[in-house]
Chains A and B, each alone.
Chain A
């Protein structure tokens, strides 16, 4: 039988506020353990949660960017469980009344775009971090706990179970990451844990609408891992079903080194978190006007940006996708495009050499002035420099931020074109290569290219090849 995968994702995004969601402690990543803590986020008795307005604002912005219906009334709830990284033994989250409902994100597939619907998005607080002196909390000799992260605001985004493959899941996450970076509410770094993803996967006969038994896949620490793990898990379940077996509801752990999912624990009914409304916080009431004002604040989002880049600048899909990958890159492009008319050429340089040089130099696009790239391209277009020199200058420009025009002057990298400069070199090459000169005279056209090449070598590519052609023809 042919099976199709049914995948739902639960994504946790750390919102990039300066302070925690329920106290004033810093959210800075990488501080000394247990230094960004206060009685509140340590759960000392008598402390009460004080909601960070900025966290709400960021949550709403993200939800609006995801086309969710932001709720005018949402309610915080306690999710109760014991774990050493959870100072109060409950996480303040949202349950029946989330910040936002519905919503969707469109992803581009080679076969066309696809809309992935969302169930909800809600606010909650991050837990602390455990470091075990051993494999797990139950077997370690000891465990250390760092509460710096406890209370960092999170937005949990839950998709409908309508993703069908590991690749779709990865594309969804990549687009989500792009979107959230555009809104500026999170730095969405999977490697630092500010974007995390758990997945539920079940199989069903292709075309059926019933849902099979699902497994939950955890420890997905990169986009690649999401794709590989879900594909692996789909195959594993397919093998079980094909062999007449039954998938058991369980939590699986993706082992990135073995490239396999490992069943961690069987689930005997879902965990019971004893949710109930958080009595320490009044319901979160948002005025329609507040939500509308935030909607106004949303920047142009990646999808619209790509479309506009295509329509306005004539870019193809791939160029638009690469340039619109970040807001900063797109801003750079558009700023340059204002004073540089050959947009395709500009796009070509940006998506190719510029991105390559940025990566090499470890720089961000914001550190480069668009005017410099325009200057470079104009010099190239006017024939003041040739292509290899332009590439060399780009490298230098990215590294040091220097103006290409000044670099050319300083280093004498300009094109050599006058007869008085080139004629002696032509003489020299003819003298040094009598055979080639003779061959040309006898009508071997190819010999000319050889001779021109020699002069180019002498000038490290700076000589104007057209000028050279003319001079050699005259001489010979």
Chain B
């Protein structure tokens, strides 16, 4: 097996035993990237020099016998809306094309300190607004399983990079499913941590009350390793939680015996792909077989998640994106006066989806509409949160789908934003309640595409997610799901 085909855990073990060097590992991923990136286009910016320098450093430290992180020497790809000091961070926006942040996001800083070589910055929907990575201002990313299809979004570049063997691990951000949906489309494990579990400092915000960074990985063990590294309170993020960080890798092998699982069957409607519904039911059966107690469960308010999410997300985004005025950084335009200057910089710098959400968000925050839209959405959000509280008073876990269908074709839905929004129905309720969810591969369907299932737990109970996800992974054979056979272009 080539190094680039290995999981992070496998690489970590080889590195630990000094059977390979970090430079060799990094080089393997760089070479693989050289051959498949032209077709997949996962990266906006590649940083081979930075990666190799970090790898060399790790090798030296290891040679000196220093204590190292398990992820030292395991390379990482980072979504391009997560700030990297000295490396441009574009958010896939023309506006930010040349923007170089002065400092690392906390998650990046932790990864770099642990000795993870930074391979590059991955493509996304502009400012993380989208579900297909087609809203990138630069180019769309292709799904390594089928180059005619989207990798999902908005963390599509991160997902495609891992699925194509261009990185063993990647960081994405999940505001309304942007880690889990591309994970499902690309056959990966994608984790959205509890809101506050991972620092948001250095994440270019989409919706501050919803954003969380999370790992995209080949296996649950890899996701657990990366979460262990990035989780924890951060004094730079007042919304980060002081709750102690659990032992996630230790939870993996604990099984599901006695766990109570709520199956969100009524949220597997007939219009969903029947093979996805079947995959969810198979997962339920596997959990039951291993000693979990599975019961169907209804959550009355989560069907309103779509409206609530798009309203609140747009409202916060419209405000968060106000700072992009072209005065201090980013696209700068001269004009006859300051208003024209703003209009030109923002008019030319932002793509259509960004403008759509700014307009929507600005509209719902207007004083005359605030009560009817924003406050109403907040009230329904509270009801959704209560649905989850009720559910977790009865269950340890909730099981459901990630997406209604497998990866769709490029251009298939680009003209119909509402269809794309509707595809997010399973992944929106969790963020509104701030709860953690994991998407994990559940095999492939007849078209040869991967399909995912989703588990959700109570706040700060990521451990139980890992227990159940790992068990389902074992049931599937324990190996990462890879494009089989690899598409000819790869």
Q: Which of B203, B205, B207, B325 meets A89, CB within 8 Å?
A: B325
Asked whether A84 and B202 contact (CB < 8 A) given A138-B337, A279-B209, the answer is no
What are 18 A-to-B residue pairs whose CB atoms are below 8 Å?
A45-B324, A48-B238, A49-B238, A82-B339, A82-B342, A137-B337, A138-B338, A145-B327, A274-B362, A274-B367, A274-B370, A275-B367, A276-B315, A276-B319, A279-B207, A279-B209, A280-B205, A280-B208
Q: A120-149: which residues lie under 8 A (CB-CB) from chain B?
A: 137-138, 143, 145
With contacts A47-B201, A89-B322 taken as known, whether A84 is within 8 angstroms of B365 at the C-beta atoms is no
Determine the residue in chain A with the shortest Cβ distance to B316.
A279
The answer, yes or no, to whether B13 is at the interface (CB within 8 Å) is no
Known: A84-B327, A274-B366. A45 touches B322 (CB 8 A): no
> Is A282 an interface position by the 8 A CB rule?
yes
Cα of A39 to Cα of B89 in the assembled complex, Å:
15
The chain A residue with its CB closest to the CB of B366 is: A272
Query: Does residue B235 face the partner (Cβ distance < 8 Å to A)?
Result: yes
Q: Is A46 an interface residue (CB 8 A)?
A: yes
Cβ-neighbour of A87 out of B103, B204, B209, B323 (below 8 A): B323
* B365 contacts A80, C-beta separation under 8 Å: yes
B101 at the interface (CB under 8 A from A): yes
> B91 to chain A: closest CB distance in Å?
8
What 10 pairs across the A-B complex have the smallest Cβ distances?
A89-B322, A274-B365, A279-B208, A279-B209, A45-B204, A46-B202, A43-B323, A46-B83, A88-B323, A280-B208
Residues of A within 8 A of B99 (CB): 45
B331 interfacial contact with A, CB 8 Å: no
In the assembled complex, A50 has its CB within 8 A of some CB on chain B? yes
B235 near A87 with CB under 8 A, answer: no
Most buried by B among A42, A43, A44, A88: A44
Q: Note all chain A residues with C-beta closer than 8 A to B366.
A: 272, 274
Task: Report how far A45 CA is from B319 CA in the complex, Å.
Answer: 12
CB–CB A276/B365 < 8 A: yes
CB–CB A282/B238 < 8 A = yes
Contact of A282 (CB < 8 Å), options: B239, B327, B362: B239
Contacts of A80 in B (CB 8 A): 318-319, 322, 365
C-alpha gap A88/B237 in the complex (Å) = 17
Q: Does B68 contact A (CB under 8 A)?
A: no
Q: Mark A79-93, 1 if CB is under 8 A from B, else 0.
A: 010101001111000
Residue numbers in B under 8 Å from A50 (CB-CB): 235-236, 238
CB distance from B184 to the nearest CB of A (A): 27
Given contacts A46-B101, A50-B235, A280-B239, 4 further A-B contacts (CB under 8 A): A44-B101, A46-B202, A78-B319, A84-B325
Main secondary structure of the interface of A (DSSP, over half): loop
Residues in B with CB closer than 8 Å to A82 are 322, 325, 339, 342
Closest partner residue, chain B, to A137 (CB atom): B338
Query: Complex formed: what's the CA distance from A87 to B328 in Å?
Result: 8
Within 8 A of B (CB), among A49-95: 49-51, 78, 80, 82, 84, 87-90
Least distance between A91 CB and chain B CB atoms (Å): 11
Q: Mark A276-291, 1 if CB is under 8 A from B, else 0.
A: 1001111000000000
CB within 8 Å of A: which B443-490 residues: none
Mark contacts of B203-225 with chain A using CB atoms, 8 A cut-off: 1 yes-contact digit, 0 otherwise: 11101110000000000000000
Report B-chain residues with C-beta under 8 Å of the C-beta of A48: 200-201, 236-239
Interface residues of A in 97-121 (CB under 8 A from B): none
Of A45, A47, A143, A282, the most chain B CB neighbours within 10 A belong to: A45
B405 to nearest A CB, angstroms? 32
Q: Once the chains bind, are B208 and A46 in contact (CB under 8 Å)?
A: no
Whole-angstrom CA separation of A282 from B195 in the bound complex: 13
- Cβ-defined contact, B367 with A272, below 8 A: yes
Return the chain B residue nearest A34 by Cβ.
B328
The 8 Å CB contact of A42, one of B328, B337, B338, is: B328
Is there an interface contact between B322 and A44, defined as CB atoms closer than 8 Å?
no
Interface centre among B207, B237, B322, B337 (most CB of A within 10 A): B322
Q: Which residues of chain A come closer than 8 Å to B327, judged between CB atoms?
A: 84, 145
**A133 CB, nearest partner CB in chain B, Å:** 13
> Does B4 count as interface, using CB distance less than 8 angstroms?
no
Please indicate the chain A residues that have their CB under 8 angstroms from the CB of B362 in the complex: 274
170-221 of chain B: CB within 8 A of chain A: 200-205, 207-209
Whether A51 contacts B101 by the Cβ 8 Å rule is no
In the complex, what's the smallest C-beta–C-beta distance from B380 to chain A, in angstroms? Answer: 16
Contacts of B200 in A (CB 8 A): 48
